[in-house]
Amino acid sequence: MQVWNLGRLVAPAVAMFILAFGLLILPSGAQEASGSNPTAQAVNEQQLLDELNKIQGRVSIPDGKAATLQQPQGRDYRGFHEGALPWIGGIAILGMLLLLALFYFFRGRIRTLAGESGIRILRFNAIERLAHWTTAAAFIVLAITGLNFIFGKRLLMPLIGPEAFSTWSVWAKYAHDFVAWAFMLGVLVILVAWVWDNLPDRYDANWLKTGGGMFDKSNRTHPPAARFNTGQKLIFWAVVLGGIALSATGILMLFPFSFADVNGMQMAQYVHATVGVLMIAVIIAHIYIGTLGMEGAYDAMGSGTVDLNWAKEHHSVWVAKEQAKAEPKVPPRARPEPAE
Ligand code: HEM
């Protein structure tokens, strides 16, 4: 019995040793087969990869994936992660910050032309605000910890040193994996709560044509809009569709190789990382317009109420409907009794 147990321990170790040995000797054998010079000088990984395209051996352990040490798609992915991705992320995020700074500089804050009326109307109820702030808080944690995967090693590690960076990165990864569930739930609630108000309507074409009045420095252009204007609808669909893409690819990565092979895993990472950085750029624009960019906008998600004049200028069709709903119902006039 004991001998059998020992065998169970030793067998995988022997298998690993044979695999490692096999992979070590593979280069010289491969070189001979391809006819190149097998001297120590000529043996380098890149040359072998160029000739063979992959390094693969044989294993007797249950995990067959271990037989492939390198494959072409893996190198493509590494190239993307180390090269294209930081550029896409950097250009999208810094580009958006620059655009917003220019917009603020030339346009200034969007003001409520009529000033405050003192009358407030409810724009978002407590459940809507809870869903929004849960999603927002989760997204900010995911954005910071996600950017650490892309830029941390290059930008943060030289500043705080490898040990602090390693401790922070371990916690960042845990946070990314667990907070993701709050984000997914938040996106689901937002979708259910606001989907009807974000379907296209007859005011969209005109809103787009006038740029939503955003470029009129006099603050006089106010194209009619229902509960959400076209710009907000675009943010909503970016959050919902981007959120679904991030969630689906994120789940593939939370359970590695359970639903996808190595190529599927790599594809999930391409999509996840690219959608993630683009969505961060979009949300930066959203945060700008909800705070600094437009007077009175923050209240809608802060207290849940907005000033009537703000609502009339930015969501005239919605205000008209709300006021119609609030008007006291006039009882139907009593039917005149027929004369006796
Ligand atoms: C943390 C900073 C954020 C602030 C200050 C902020 C502010 C706001 C405000 C004021 C509104 C209401 C606009 C209105 O009255 O119509 C709003 C709506 C909304 N927010 Fe945020 N938000 C933030 C983050 C986020 C994040 C991270 C997400 C999603 C990932 C998000 C998704 C939405 C969506 C889908 C809407 C409805 C559509 C729209 O108004 O664009 N928000 N937000």
Is 90 exceeded by the pLDDT of residue 272? yes
Instruction: Give the span between the Cα atoms of 123 and 300, in whole angstroms.
Output: 6
Q: Which atom of ligand 1 is nearest to the CA of 315?
A: 16
Confidence of residue 13 (pLDDT cuts 50, 70, 90): low
Is the C-beta atom of 309 inside 6 A of ligand 1? no
Q: Provide the pLDDT for residue 124.
A: 98
Is 50 exceeded by the pLDDT of residue 22? no
Highest mean pLDDT among 45-49, 67-71, 298-302: 298-302
Q: Provide the pLDDT for residue 337.
A: 54
What is 73-124+195-326's CATH topology? Fumarate Reductase Cytochrome B subunit (1.20.950)
Q: Provide the pLDDT for residue 265.
A: 95
Is the C-beta atom of 272 inside 6 A of ligand 1? no
Task: Determine the distance separating the centroid of ligand 1 and the alpha carbon of 132, expressed in angstroms.
Answer: 7
Q: Provide the pLDDT for residue 20.
A: 52
Strand pairing class (120-122; 305-307)? antiparallel
Task: Determine the distance separating the centroid of ligand 1 and the alpha carbon of 113, expressed in angstroms.
Answer: 23
Nearest CA to ligand 1 atom 24: 136
- Quick one: 23 exposed, middle or buried, by C-beta within 10 A (0-12, 13-18, 19+)? middle
Task: Determine the distance separating the centroid of ligand 1 and the alpha carbon of 176, expressed in angstroms.
Answer: 21
Q: Residue with structure tokens 């593939």?
A: 252
Instruction: Give the span between the Cα atoms of 244 and 274, in whole angstroms.
Output: 14
Is the C-beta atom of 136 inside 6 A of ligand 1? yes
Confidence of residue 18 (pLDDT cuts 50, 70, 90): low
Question: Rounded to a whole number, what is the distance in angstroms from the first to the last CA of the chain?
Answer: 110
Task: Determine the distance separating the centroid of ligand 1 and the alpha carbon of 168, expressed in angstroms.
Answer: 29
- Mean pLDDT value of segment 28-53: 58
Is the C-beta atom of 291 inside 6 A of ligand 1? yes
Least confident range from 28-37, 130-139, 143-152, 191-200: namely 28-37
Instruction: Give the span between the Cα atoms of 256 and 248, in whole angstroms.
Output: 13
Q: Provide the pLDDT for residue 2.
A: 45
176-180-184 Cα angle (round to 5)? 165
**Segments making up each domain of the chain, as ranges:** 2-70, 73-124+195-326
Is the C-beta atom of 303 inside 6 A of ligand 1? no
117-125-208 Cα angle (round to 5)? 65
Q: Looking at beta carbons, which pairs linking 264-267 to residues 24 or more positions away fall under 8 Å?
A: 266/73, 266/74, 266/76, 266/77
Task: Determine the distance separating the centroid of ligand 1 and the alpha carbon of 129, expressed in angstroms.
Answer: 9
The pLDDT tens digits for 218-253 are 999 999 999 999 999 999 999 999 999 999 999 999
Is the C-beta atom of 190 inside 6 A of ligand 1? yes
pLDDT, mean over the chain = 88
Q: Which atom of ligand 1 is nearest to the CA of 298?
A: 10
Nearest CA to ligand 1 atom 7: 290
Is the C-beta atom of 229 inside 6 A of ligand 1? no
Q: Which atom of ligand 1 is nearest to the CA of 300?
A: 15
Global pTM reads: 0.82
- Quick one: 41 exposed, middle or buried, by C-beta within 10 A (0-12, 13-18, 19+)? exposed
Is 90 exceeded by the pLDDT of residue 284? yes
Q: Which atom of ligand 1 is nearest to the CA of 198?
A: 38
Could you tell which of 134, 187, 301, 314 is best to mutate to test the pocket of ligand 1, judged by most ligand atoms within 8 Å of the CB? Answer: 301
Q: Which atom of ligand 1 is nearest to the CA of 306?
A: 15
The pLDDT tens digits for 131-151 are 999 999 999 999 999 999 999
Instruction: Give the span between the Cα atoms of 125 and 189, in whole angstroms.
Output: 13
Q: Provide the pLDDT for residue 257.
A: 93
Confidence of residue 53 (pLDDT cuts 50, 70, 90): confident
Is the C-beta atom of 104 inside 6 A of ligand 1? no
Task: Determine the distance separating the centroid of ligand 1 and the alpha carbon of 254, expressed in angstroms.
Answer: 27
Q: Provide the pLDDT for residue 26.
A: 45
The pLDDT tens digits for 68-78 are 887 888 889 99
